[in-house]
């Protein structure tokens, strides 16, 4: 099992359509030729619809790339014309599934048109970009018709992209086999395998006359869990679970339609249900409305990602605000990470913790999530607690944690939230640099009296 993400970098011939005059049956056609994948041409919600590019002179056209937004054309034709009136079809598509359509064509014309006759969604035709490339001269073609990994063609492969990110499962040690098929059978390829996982395999393509070369990169990352998320350890009496196979959960809608482009799936690892947010921009989750979590202390979640660089988690209750996981804790890739977000973060921003009803996740890349629940700690009765006066600093701590007490410290022990002892000292200054980010319990013994507090490792 693998997940493919694509980093688009145009390293090849000139895009003839860029900033040329574009017209369309409806909508602003110029937004499809501005090299801005944040803007798009969107047509009316009916068939047929078209968009045409004036290249200002006639070219021998060899390639057309359609970068579809979520509303795509299922059935369409690519047409060329010398006068913008009389059109010749050079490609007919009967079952596109959206994404990026990289089409090799043969035809000559000043004008190139996408003429759509059947939409793939109830919405219109919507293109982030339409790109047009001149055909390579004989003997100078260094393009590919396909790239495959372990016998499976890369989804969305395009000669206008030189870098692909391919996610493999945690624990993978065998380098995947990459095969490249040249458009010109007389062109040659040289494939240099990645040295290890993670790593990058390079594909060098050389034209028949050896004057043109193109290099493709496939970056293998650990982006898929090799096992289920860790089993929660909190007692269910101290938990309100939203999503977890381990507890009775209250989620009512895992994929509400909020207009997101995130690709949502519920997948299984070791038989355990897990959320997968692919191509994440934002994603919601609804649960019992309202849910009173004012007695709880934390939101817990486990996440796994291979490529996310942005990750924020929202509690929605009479408004919303984000906990920025990247800036607060940093994002760890290639392994399951458990985090506990203090509910005070949301309460201090004015959220009504008696009326929670939704979570929202924003970010990028592909993120797997499991065990989303509210929880509280159980106070432990300690004799003579008022007689023991100490503090810890700094909190949060990065490298060292100081125990501030006038009395002699008999023992300091740090536990993670599963109850596992991770550090045991008699010193007042503890080196915590090796601990992973998260919340820990600190147990201090002074003159036979034991007291526990929490600290955050950042």
Taking the C-alpha atoms of residue 362 and residue 300, their distance in angstroms, rounded to an integer, is 17
Q: Which residues pair with 22 in a beta bridge?
A: 53
CB 65 within 8 A of CB 102: yes
Taking the C-alpha atoms of residue 438 and residue 458, their distance in angstroms, rounded to an integer, is 7
Task: Examine domains 3-134 and 236-375 and report if their fold is the same.
Answer: yes
So what's the pLDDT on residue 6? 46
CATH architecture label of 144-224: Sandwich (2.60)
Q: pLDDT digit string (tens) for 20-29?
A: 999 999 999 9
Domain 385-457 is found in CATH 3.40.470.10: no
Q: Which fold has domain 3-134?
A: Jelly Rolls (2.60.120)
So what's the pLDDT on residue 230? 92
Which tokens is 410 given?
């008999």
Question: How is the chain split into domains, by residue range?
Answer: 3-134, 144-224, 236-375, 385-457
Taking the C-alpha atoms of residue 208 and residue 138, their distance in angstroms, rounded to an integer, is 9
So what's the pLDDT on residue 348? 92
**CA atoms within 13 A of residue 176's CA, in its CB half-sphere:** 29
So what's the pLDDT on residue 82? 97
**CA atoms within 13 A of residue 289's CA, in its CB half-sphere:** 11
Q: pLDDT digit string (tens) for 295-327?
A: 999 999 999 999 999 999 999 999 999 999 999
| Ranges of the chain whose pLDDT falls below 50 | 1-12, 380-386
pTM score: 0.63
Taking the C-alpha atoms of residue 275 and residue 361, their distance in angstroms, rounded to an integer, is 12
Determine if the peptide bond prior to 159 is cis (ω within 30°). no
Query: What is residue 143's DSSP assignment?
Result: -
So what's the pLDDT on residue 12? 45
For domain 236-375, the CATH class is mainly beta
Taking the C-alpha atoms of residue 129 and residue 318, their distance in angstroms, rounded to an integer, is 39
Taking the C-alpha atoms of residue 448 and residue 27, their distance in angstroms, rounded to an integer, is 77
């Amino acid at each position: 099992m693998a997940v493919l993400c694509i980093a688009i970098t145009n390293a090849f011939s000139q895009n003839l359509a860029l900033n040329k005059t574009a017209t369309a049956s409806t909508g602003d056609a110029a937004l499809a030729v501005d090299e801005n994948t944040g803007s798009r041409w969107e047509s009316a919600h009916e068939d047929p619809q078209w968009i045409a590019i004036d290249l200002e002179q006639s070219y021998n056209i060899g390639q057309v790339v359609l970068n579809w937004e979520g509303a795509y054309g299922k059935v369409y034709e690519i047409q060329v014309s010398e006068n913008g009136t009389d059109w010749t079809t050079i490609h007919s598509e009967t079952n596109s599934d959206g994404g990026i359509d990289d089409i090799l064509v043969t035809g000559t014309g000043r004008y190139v048109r996408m003429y759509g006759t059947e939409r793939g969604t109830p919405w219109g035709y919507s293109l982030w970009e339409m790109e047009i490339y001149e055909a390579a001269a004989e003997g100078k073609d260094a393009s590919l018709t396909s790239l495959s990994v372990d016998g499976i063609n890369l989804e969305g492969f395009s000669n206008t992209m030189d870098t692909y990110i391919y996610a493999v499962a945690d624990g993978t040690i065998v380098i995947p086999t990459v095969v490249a098929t040249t458009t010109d059978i007389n062109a040659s390829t040289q494939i240099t395998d990645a040295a290890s996982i993670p790593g990058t395999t390079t594909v060098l393509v050389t034209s028949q006359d050896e004057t043109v070369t193109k290099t493709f990169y496939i970056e293998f990352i650990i982006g898929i869990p090799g096992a289920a998320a860790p089993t929660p350890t909190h007692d269910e009496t101290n938990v309100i679970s939203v999503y977890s196979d381990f507890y009775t959960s209250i989620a009512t809608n895992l994929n509400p339609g909020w207009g997101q482009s995130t690709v949502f799936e519920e997948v299984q690892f070791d038989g355990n249900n897990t959320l997968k947010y692919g191509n994440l921009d934002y994603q919601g989750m609804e649960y019992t409305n309202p849910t009173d979590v004012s007695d709880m202390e934390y939101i817990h979640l486990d996440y796994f990602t291979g490529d996310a660089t942005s990750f924020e988690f929202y509690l929605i209750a009479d408004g919303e605000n984000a906990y920025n996981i990247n800036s607060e804790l940093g994002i760890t890739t290639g392994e399951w990470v458990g985090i506990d977000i203090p509910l005070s973060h949301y309460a201090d921003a004015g959220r009504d913790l008696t009326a929670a009803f939704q979570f929202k996740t924003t970010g990028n890349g592909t993120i797997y999530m499991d065990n989303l629940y509210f929880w509280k700690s159980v106070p432990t009765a300690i004799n003579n607690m008022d007689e023991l006066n100490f503090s810890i600093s700094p909190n949060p701590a990065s490298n060292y944690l100081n125990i501030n007490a006038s009395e002699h410290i008999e023992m300091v022990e740090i536990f993670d939230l599963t109850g596992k002892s991770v550090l045991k000292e008699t010193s007042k200054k503890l080196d915590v640099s090796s601990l992973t980010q998260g919340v820990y319990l600190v147990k201090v013994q002074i003159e036979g009296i034991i007291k526990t507090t929490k600290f955050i490792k950042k």
